Amino acid sequence: MINEVDTIAAISTALGEGAIGIVRVSGPDAITICNHIVRLVHHQSLSAVKSHTINYGKVVSNDLGQDIDEVMVSVMRAPKTFTREDVIEINCHGGNQAVKRILENLLDAGARLAEPGEFTKRAFLNGRIDLSQAEAVMDLIKAKSDRAMDLAMGQLSGRLSSKIKDLRQEMLQTLAQVEVTIDYPEYDDAEDISLTALSHTAKHIKERIAELLKQSRQGRIIRDGIKTAIIGRPNVGKSSLLNNLIQEEKAIVTEVAGTTRDTIEETITINGIPLELVDTAGIRETTDVVEQIGVARSRKALEEADLVLLLLNRSEPLSESDRALIAATADKKRLILLNKTDLTQQLDRVQLELLLVTTDQVIETSMLEQVGIDALEKSIMDLFMDGKIAERDATYISNVRHIDLLKKADKCLDEVLNACEQQVPVDLIQIDFTRAWDLLGEITGESVQDELLTQLFSQFCLGK
């Protein structure tokens, strides 16, 4: 299936100080190429060792025959390997030098430097994993939390793929049924039977797509985290909130209004869900040039946020800026925090409620006395995960590409249903139906174009 049957090599571990480093080689000449530079202690050569064994030896340079490093070499012969090709992994000492020199010598001996993601791409092209599993490999590498990792593992084990395959199978059966019916003219009502079958399946597939999409929002959150902007006028306690959440004096806190000039970003996890916090400069009208830039950045953070924590100072009456911010965040998912509850209340709750919508939750806090943090964390979970901690085995679709394809397939099926209602000729409806089938196939890579593959795999790390 692969036409570029050369042998590729890359450093598979992160560069930097570490106990071991791994250089990986895959392709038909992997063993021959490595034989040039590996001297084993207990065997003649790598060709002589059993598959799936790890062997002690040395790497020597091609030209000078000089020892480069003491190594353990894994030999894995095709097809039971990650790429389904012969794979050699050289485990050497960590740090930058050993891995680099070993790689250089492998390239001299005839290997080609792998492109990012090329090992995984080969695994896909050789049919070991499908596309959604390949993408899961990337998610696994980039996972920011335990939950994100569980999610990627679920996808890697083919949970999403098998659901999509079931859907496509069902659609294929319907298409086959339609073909047969149309081909037997003794049925007078062939068109009717076909229309009924197509619309019945289209409806069912649409229901299943809707379920998958419903879970997708949570999936994205588990994977990418919740972008959370802390917003409020100057001096209400935004930076104090950030420090409290991350349990570190990261942001400067003073009684001077306008202390925070630039946005400050930090990530924490709540029940396994990453929260990407952004502390912002207090939003107000100002003539100070630096502060103006800060305020513009605050507004940008507000725009990009999945969640806004809007802070108000309970010990002062509502101000014009507070009202403006309540209005500006109205279409956002938000929590209203009334801070400084350790001081006497000046803010009129009734007046405030009039400005809020029914879904708004108000939480009273005191950053000084660290009151209300637990309630805040609980509310965030309620808002994003329906209060539940993500179940391990639900099929969360977290990949934007998958969501997009599901939505497109859903639209095609809408057209199928419309056309069925209007009694459009069956062969025309079949086209949309088949298109939906193709779109679902792109998720698993059963119907997929070359450019897409190149683009997808180029997002991987080198050596994976």
Q: Closer to ligand GTP by CB, 327 or 343: give it.
A: 343
Binding partner at 55 among ligand GTP, Mg ion, none, C-beta below 5 to 8 Å by kind = none
Distance between CA 133 and CA 128 in Å, rounded? 10
Query: In this structure, is the dihedral angle defined by the CA atoms of residues 94, 100, 105 and 109, taken in order, positive or negative?
Result: positive
Q: How far is the CB of 380 from ligand GTP (least distance, A)?
A: 19
Of the candidates 98, 173, 48, 131, the residue with the CA atom closest to the CA atom of residue 401: 131
Binding partner at 441 among Mg ion, ligand GTP, none, C-beta below 5 to 8 Å by kind = none
| Residues in contact with ligand GTP by the rule CB under 6 A | 232, 234-240, 253-255, 257-260, 281-282, 339-340, 342-343, 366-368
Residue 213 CA, distance from chain mean position: 15
**CB 140 within 8 Å of CB 149:** yes
Q: Residue with structure tokens 């596309």?
A: 131
Q: Closer to ligand GTP by CB, 257 or 400: give it.
A: 257
| Residues in contact with Mg ion by the rule CB under 5 A | 238-239, 259-260
Q: Closer to ligand GTP by CB, 263 or 418: give it.
A: 263
Query: In this structure, is the dihedral angle defined by the CA atoms of residues 316, 319, 323 and 325, taken in order, positive or negative?
Result: negative
H/E run at residue 23: strand 20-26
Give every strand in the sheet of 20-26, ordered side by side.
38-40, 53-60, 67-76, 87-93, 20-26, 8-11, 112-113
Q: Closer to Mg ion by CB, 152 or 301: give it.
A: 301
Distance between CA 100 and CA 98 in Å, rounded? 5
Q: Closer to ligand GTP by CB, 198 or 367: give it.
A: 367
Binding partner at 397 among Mg ion, ligand GTP, none, C-beta below 5 to 8 Å by kind = none
The residue number whose beta carbon is nearest to ligand GTP equals 282
Binding partner at 17 among ligand GTP, Mg ion, none, C-beta below 5 to 8 Å by kind = none
Local structure of 271: helix, strand or coil: coil
Binding partner at 255 among Mg ion, ligand GTP, none, C-beta below 5 to 8 Å by kind = ligand GTP
Q: Residue with structure tokens 């106990």?
A: 19
Binding partner at 343 among ligand GTP, Mg ion, none, C-beta below 5 to 8 Å by kind = ligand GTP
Q: How far is the CB of 296 from Mg ion (least distance, A)?
A: 16
Q: Closer to ligand GTP by CB, 95 or 258: give it.
A: 258
Q: Residue with structure tokens 């070359």?
A: 450
- Between the alpha carbon of residue 342 and those of residues 59, 240, 314, 318, the distances in Å are 68, 14, 9, 17
Binding partner at 47 among ligand GTP, Mg ion, none, C-beta below 5 to 8 Å by kind = none
Query: In this structure, is the dihedral angle defined by the CA atoms of residues 166, 168, 171 and 172, taken in order, positive or negative?
Result: negative
Q: Closer to Mg ion by CB, 126 or 259: give it.
A: 259
| Cβ atoms < 10 Å from Cβ of 12 | 19
Q: Closer to Mg ion by CB, 311 or 443: give it.
A: 311
Q: How far is the CB of 243 from Mg ion (least distance, A)?
A: 10
Q: How far is the CB of 259 from Mg ion (least distance, A)?
A: 5
Binding partner at 342 among ligand GTP, Mg ion, none, C-beta below 5 to 8 Å by kind = ligand GTP
Q: How far is the CB of 311 from ligand GTP (least distance, A)?
A: 6
- Give residues with Cβ within 8 angstroms of 165, minimum separation 6: 444
